[in-house]
Amino acid sequence: MLLCTTINGEYMEVEVNPDLRLVDFLRDQLGLTGTKIGCRRGECGACTVIFNGKAVTSCLIPVMRAHGAVIETIEGLMGENEKLHPLQEEFINRGAIQCGFCTPGMIMSAKALLDENPDPSVDEVREALGGNICRCTGYKKIQEAVLGAAERIRKGE
Amino acid sequence: MKYILAKSVEEALIGLYQAGGTGAIMGGGTDLTIDLESGKHKADTLVDVTGVPELKEIRLEGDTLVIGAAATLTEITHNPLVKKHCPSLTLGTGCVGSLQIRNSATLAGNVMSAQPAADGAMALAPYDPEFVICSLGGERRCKMGEMYAGFARSAIDPSKEMVKEIRIPILKENEAGSYIRLELRKSLSLPMLNVAAVARVVDGKVEWARITMGPVGVGPVHAVDAEAYLVGKELTAEVMTEAGKLAMNNAKPRSNPLRGSKEYREATLPILVRRALESIADQLGIKY
Ligand code: FES
Ligand code: FES
């Protein structure tokens, strides 16, 4: 089937197998392997992307639902001249990354939150990241990184 | 597989009809996608209804709150009409799965999946909602109890018909609702037990109370003995404790390796029922 969609700002028309899930299309057909697969059951958050402004687990989205949608993946975060997004920088600076497998999903969940609410409370951060599981960091530094990035974004960075 | 992105209810029903029993309606798809991959559910045609405008609507019709079958749990949880008229519903819809799941999944789907302790379905049940089910042959209405055929089995066949909307009688003066969840953790986990209630109390006396609980049977189970006992009573501490005990007459909790033993659930369920009633008393300004 013909899929017309916008991914990381780029409009595309591509033939896809409608049996695919969005995560497989992103990774295997577009080579956007920053989006990870941990469980394929919606239980780990590693595959989180932003779909029409909302964080979703792309392992549970049939690819054709992306028709007409606007999707952001971790690959779309970097600014001009390879400048990292404040969320990416804060994750690095504050040691919120260990093995890094959960990180793209964490950052996309956090970005969806900050896009809607640049001044979240700790509870709001925790709610937004509740669907992202990390087996390494213990979450505290992730929470701090998101709050730190929020502050920088509010200052206009 | 054929994938239809329906733009209207009619288009969805035609697509389903043409699939001749091998199709399936796809709402949020957070359960169906998994079941299709595991082979638990089979379909040659998927009819995606998430882009049907009328199914996304949440509106008030007189004393009835109408929630379209494709409204996501996030949309329901943050909708001002739902918060105002059925506030305890948002306590359930707001804790299904994770935020990512709630951004896709629907309340209709939460009922269709028929898990006995589904947060959204449980919080909805004591409101005594009606489901509008449609097919090319026409529309019919189902009560909550008629939606369940067994454990994790819906009475609605998604290859033949679809839920169009959920119609919920809104809370009136002297009425309040509550939702209580016993949980190991907040996200990505079904509750160990959950209880929801809605009651009407006039001049200090309970006119009617509806209490549902799970997972203690098929779908949300009514605590009918407790409901009958409460009629005409004042919501005192003793009465609410007794109602909690009576709720056990209708509950058959089982042991679950992840979410609590039968014994633990039996010991805690009466307390949750009491707390659900206490919450209603608090909201109605009743001292106990
Ligand atoms: S891979 Fe999608 S939630 Fe785990
Ligand atoms: S850093 Fe390893 S899973 Fe989160």
Measured distance CA(B162)–CA(B216) in Å, rounded: 27
Q: Which of A1, A57, A64 sits opposite B101 (nearest CB)?
A: A57
pLDDT per position as a tens digit, B45-72 = 999 999 999 999 999 999 999 999 999 9
What band does A79 get if pLDDT is binned at 50, 70 and 90? confident
pLDDT at residue B269, rounded to an integer: 97
Query: Are residues B26 and B135 located together in one domain of the fold?
Result: yes
pLDDT at residue A62, rounded to an integer: 97
Task: Give domain status of residue B174, yes or no.
Answer: no
Domain count, chain B: 2
- pLDDT over 90, % of chain B: 94
Q: Give the residue-averaged pLDDT of B118-146.
A: 97
* Whether B267 contacts chain A with CB within 8 A: no
How deeply is B141 buried, as exposed, middle or buried, from its count of CB atoms within 10 A (0-12, 13-18, 19+)? exposed
Question: The CATH number of the domain where A143 resides is what?
Answer: 1.10.150.120
Query: Are residues A86 and A58 located together in one domain of the fold?
Result: no
Two tokens, residue A73: 């993946």
pLDDT per position as a tens digit, B226-262 = 999 999 999 999 999 999 999 999 999 999 888 899 9
Q: Give the residue-averaged pLDDT of B122-138.
A: 97
User: Please, which residues have CB within 8 angstroms of residue A138's CB and are 6 or more apart in sequence?
Assistant: none
Q: Which domain holds residue A58?
A: 2-77
Q: Give the residue-averaged pLDDT of B91-99.
A: 96
Task: Give domain status of residue B175, yes or no.
Answer: no
pLDDT at residue A31, rounded to an integer: 98
Query: Are residues A91 and A73 located together in one domain of the fold?
Result: no
Query: Are residues B120 and B206 located together in one domain of the fold?
Result: no
CB A59 near ligand 1, within 6 Å: yes
Q: Give the residue-averaged pLDDT of B25-46.
A: 94
**Taking the model in full, what pTM does it have?**
0.96
Measured distance CA(B119)–CA(B89) in Å, rounded: 9
Instruction: Tell which phi-psi region holds residue B9, choosing left (phi > 0), alpha (psi between -120 and 50) or beta.
Output: alpha
- Boundary-marking domain end, from A52, A77, A102: A77
CB A55 near ligand 2, within 6 Å: no
Measured distance CA(B195)–CA(B223) in Å, rounded: 10
CB within 8 Å: B97 and A42:
yes
Query: Are residues B164 and B213 located together in one domain of the fold?
Result: no
* Whether B258 contacts chain A with CB within 8 A: no
Q: Compute φ and ψ for A82, nearest 5 degrees.
A: 60, 30
Domain count, chain A: 2
Question: The CATH number of the domain where B98 resides is what?
Answer: 3.30.465.10
pLDDT per position as a tens digit, B252-263 = 999 988 889 999
Question: The CATH number of the domain where A36 resides is what?
Answer: 3.10.20.30
- Boundary-marking domain end, from B110, B137, B169: B169
Distances (CA, A) of B222 to B132, B189, B214, B227, B233: 22, 23, 9, 8, 19
Angle at B6 between CA B5 and CA B12, to 5 degrees: 130
CB within 8 Å: B103 and A55:
yes
Q: Give the residue-averaged pLDDT of A37-41.
A: 96
Query: Are residues B243 and B155 located together in one domain of the fold?
Result: no
What band does A148 get if pLDDT is binned at 50, 70 and 90? very high
Query: Are residues B147 and B39 located together in one domain of the fold?
Result: yes
* Whether B74 contacts chain A with CB within 8 A: yes
Q: Which of B102, B9, B97, B75 is nearest to B48 (CA)?
A: B9
Q: Give the residue-averaged pLDDT of B30-41.
A: 93
Q: Which domain holds residue B186?
A: 180-283
Q: Give the residue-averaged pLDDT of B174-198.
A: 93
CB A127 near ligand 1, within 6 Å: no
Pocket test for ligand 1, best of A39, A106, A109 (most atoms within 8 A of CB): A39
pLDDT at residue B190, rounded to an integer: 87
Task: Give domain status of residue B288, yes or no.
Answer: no
Measured distance CA(B176)–CA(B188) in Å, rounded: 28
Contact (CB, 8 A) for A129 and A107: no
pLDDT at A157 over 90: no
Instruction: Please list the residues that pair with A3 across neighbouring strands.
Output: A14
pLDDT per position as a tens digit, A84-104 = 999 999 999 999 999 999 999
What is the complex's ipTM, to 2 decimals? 0.95
Pocket test for ligand 1, best of A33, A40, A102 (most atoms within 8 A of CB): A40
